[in-house]
Amino acid sequence: MLNNYPLWKYLTVILVFVTGIIYTLPSLYRDYPTIYIAQCALEQNYQEMDDILLCQIKKILAYEKIINKSIVSQANKIRIQFFHEQDQLQAYQKLSTIFSKKYQILLCNTRNIPHWLSAIKAKPIKLGLDLCGGIYFVIHANTKTVLDKFQEQYINSLRVILFEKNIPYLQIYKIKNNDIEINFKNSNYRNKAILPLSKIDNELILYAIGTNKLHVIFSERKKNAIREHAIHQNCTILHHRIHQLGITEPLVQRHGSDRIIIELPGFQDIEKIREMLGTTASLEFRLVNSTISEFKINNNLIPEDSEIKLSNNGYLVPLYKQIVLSGDNIINSNVGLDEYNRPQVNISLDKTGSISISNFTKNNIGKAIATLFVEYKDSGKKDSKGHAILIKHEKVINIATIQSQLSDNFRISGINNLNEARHLSLLLRMGNLAAPIHIEEERMIGPTLGKQNIVRGFIACSLGLLTSICFMILWYHYFGLIASVALIANLILMISTMSIVPGIVLTMPSIVGIVLTLSVAVDANVLINERIKEEIKKGKPVQYAIYTGYRKAFTSIVDANITTIITSIILYLIGTGPIKGFAITTIIGVGTSMFTSIVGTRAVVNLVYGKRRINKLSI
């Protein structure tokens, strides 16, 4: 038979469409104004605290006569849904006054999706800021600070190599563009140092100047690699910080050479997000230089490998410049109490940090190690490029004696109070930013504007769909009706695909892509139907005309759609946010339209007309 699918093809088409319908369902549920209450620092028994907190919240809302839709406990947070935004804001003001010191309280919108849909990972399509409102940040990362830090590390490495090779030098100091200059006693020592120093890094350029100087220069490729790594690490850390607030699907992406864009659709609490993102603190663990006396400190007789830092108590502490361990190696921290009921912070390290601290403490038992707290604050001034000038603040928050070899778990004790311990634990869990950041721009986009955009987008999509359906039915009759059903199925598959694929966000440009794709999706069926009509005019049998029409139109359809996909891929690769959204929507739409136009309509036509003797078609 010419027009007949085997059973497995029919079942495949049915399975695809049923799956598309199921994964489209979550997007049909409405959003409800929501408040999330989550613990922020001290890790204890969440279930017990949630039960107590749940009862308190219910009493407060009942007393204030605030109507809510539901209050549920979810793992380590409580979700309160409301019918109206006025009730949400009223409850937020009241609950923030009572619980803001102990808990994170966030505003957002959520949907009540049935459990069976959640069990199969069916989620609603993610909406962008222009559709559901939310918070928008532009963050500048100070990559110059990262280069300065690497410059310090390389200076330490140069000192170590020269000491090991027994090559005397007069001075190592920084020069402009993050380069380094070394002064030797004479040219012989300088020439002797070139070979061992060149082995530190292939990206370091060494050349001699004058009779006794050696310049060490970072190549531009090395500097760019350092900047790239810093921006990438900052994106990862910021994503992790936002995730700790219970925001599971933020958009964090690089913008330009040194900026990061953060979009948080559906969230309205800008203060909490600003506080979390603006934290630029980090920790460094350094060995105390006990050989430096108070006399040397007072007379500024500090060797090159050390520097003086201020402690919490106002004392001057001499520390080696070499960093034993940084906050980058910390994977978890929590607050506890020591044997004397004093607050302490328990720390867990990754594999690299565990090896480093183990080897170091093994060889330095009995020596004092200090925890240096480093924070960058906005000075209120700007540089020549308009970027905020950050000032570095450092203080020693803890000094401890290494009593035994440490492993991947250790603790910081001697902290003044429990609140300080909680704050330190939270900072460590948030992760160290590779480069200090400054919020350059922040915008709050109200949900009202987003709702207007959704309505307009829905109207545009509906009008485009109805126009195509009317044209197809009037011009091609029954075959036009089949193409119209395929058009609706195409829309369902597009929505389900966009909800399944991670990282896809529906924005106004994406809606434009959907409308455009739906408008031109019938082109394939127009080609097929015209081919069938041509074969019938030539006097071919109906079954043969259907078979030939689909076969001849197939090549033209594929060629046209492949060129569209290639163009969309180029747009996605070189474009920015809105253009990427349009491109990815177009790619998905072209793929689903090819399936529905060729495979879907053919399955229906074969089911209706296959294995039958037909003399006339409604086309």
Q: pLDDT digits over 381-437, tens only?
A: 777 666 667 777 888 877 888 878 877 787 777 676 777 777 777 777 766 777 888
Regarding predicted confidence, which is higher, 503 or 598? 598
Q: Burial code of 325-355, b = ≥16 C-beta within 10 A, e = fewer?
A: bbbbbbbebbbeeeeeeebbbbbbbeeebbe
Rounded Cα gap, residues 362 and 356, in angstroms:
10
pLDDT at 21: 93
Q: Which of 104-118, 244-258, 473-487 reaches the highest mean pLDDT? A: 473-487
The pLDDT of 538-544, averaged and rounded, is: 84
Domain boundaries 144-223, corresponding CATH code: 3.30.1240
Q: How many CA atoms lie within 13 A of 166 on its CB side?
A: 0
pLDDT of 315 strictly over 70: yes
What SS3 state is found at 346?
Answer: strand
Domain boundaries 7-26+457-609, corresponding CATH code: 1.20.1640.10
Domain boundaries 281-432, corresponding CATH code: 3.30.1360.200
Rg (CA), the chain: 33
Would you say the C-alpha torsion 521, 525, 531, 533 has a positive or negative sign? negative
Q: Which two tokens stand for residue 69?
A: 């839709």
What SS3 state is found at 302?
Answer: coil
Q: Domain-by-domain residue ranges, the chain?
A: 7-26+457-609, 33-112, 144-223, 281-432
pLDDT at 15: 94
Dihedral class, residue 358 (left if φ above 0, else alpha if ψ from -120 to 50, else beta): alpha
pLDDT bucket at 305, cuts 50 / 70 / 90: confident
pLDDT of 42 strictly over 70: no
Q: How many CB atoms lie within 10 A of CB 200?
A: 15
pLDDT of 45 strictly over 50: no
Q: Which residue has the tokens 């559709």?
A: 131
pLDDT bucket at 249, cuts 50 / 70 / 90: low
DSSP-derived secondary structure letter, 212: T
pLDDT of 20 strictly over 90: yes
CB-based contacts of 414, cutoff 8 Å, min separation 6: 342, 398, 399, 400
Rounded Cα gap, residues 106 and 79, in angstroms:
10
Q: Which two tokens stand for residue 94?
A: 């009241």
pLDDT of 281 strictly over 90: no
Rounded Cα gap, residues 365 and 533, in angstroms:
90
Q: Which two tokens stand for residue 265?
A: 């659709």
Length of the chain: 619
pLDDT of 542 strictly over 70: yes
Give the residue from 495, 490, 444 showing the smallest Cα distance to 598.
490
Q: Is residue 174 within 8 Å of residue 205, measured between CB atoms?
A: no
pLDDT at 280: 65
Domain boundaries 33-112, corresponding CATH code: 3.30.70.1510
pLDDT at 17: 93
pLDDT of 158 strictly over 50: yes
pLDDT of 200 strictly over 70: yes
What SS3 state is found at 552?
Answer: helix
Residue 280 burial (10 A CB sphere; 0-12, 13-18, 19+): buried
Q: Is residue 552 within 8 Å of residue 524, measured between CB atoms?
A: no
Give the residue from 514, 537, 556, 532 showing the smallest Cα distance to 478.
532
Q: Which residue has the tokens 């915008």?
A: 443
- The pairing of strands 316-326 and 343-349 is unpaired
